[in-house]
Amino acid sequence: DYTEDYEINVVFRAFGGLGCRVDAISPGKSAGEKCVTCIQDFGIKGSEICSEQKVGHYFIITNDVERMKVADYDCIVIPGGRAPEYLAVDERVVSLVKQFSEENKIVSAIGEGQLVLAAAGLLK
Positions in the chain whose pLDDT score sits under 50: none
What is the spatial distance between Cα 46 and Cα 15, in angstroms, rounded to a whole number?
Answer: 35
- Please give the pLDDT value at position 42: 65
pLDDT, residue 46, reads: 61
Looking at residue 47, its pLDDT comes to: 57
Q: Write down the pLDDT at residue 124.
A: 85
Helices (H) and strands (E) in the chain, counts: 4, 5
| pLDDT confidence of residue 72 | 95
Q: What pLDDT sits at residue 43?
A: 63
- CATH number (3.40.50.720, 3.40.50.880, 3.40.50.300, 3.90.1660.10) of 3-119 reads 3.40.50.880
φ and ψ at 39, to 5 degrees?
Answer: -120, 115
Task: Specify the pTM.
Answer: 0.87
